Amino acid sequence: MNNLTIYLTIGVILFVLGLVAVLTSKNLVKILMGVELILNASGLNFIAFSRFVTGNLDGQLAALFIIVVAASEAAVALAIILNFYRQLRSIDVNLADSLRG
């Protein structure tokens, strides 16, 4: 068991917990939190690979771009959640069914 495996295991745990949050939650904000957990897990994996496998800093740059995408995603998601709340007075995802046939 080397160091890389420990980091990858932490990454797997974070990813799976985020997946559970996305799948089980009815609350839009909690789903957003799950997505953030998943993005953190992937960033951690990128940096662990950058340190232990490739030996250069390309993985760290990928993690940096992940942080950029996560920031813009959170801003847009918050705007959508606010609009959702204004329309329906709730952020329960089960109410988002107006496109269902």
Which parts of this chain interact with other proteins (CB under 8 A)?
A: 2-10, 12-21, 23-30, 32-34, 36-37, 40, 43-44, 47-48, 50-58, 60-61, 63-65, 67-76, 78-83, 85, 90-91
CA distance 1 to 90: 48
Rounded to a whole number of angstroms, the minimum distance from the CB of residue 101 to other proteins is 22
Number of other CB atoms surrounding residue 79 within 10 Å: 10
Rounded to a whole number of angstroms, the minimum distance from the CB of residue 39 to other proteins is 9
Q: Which is nearer to other proteins, 10 or 96 (CB)?
A: 10
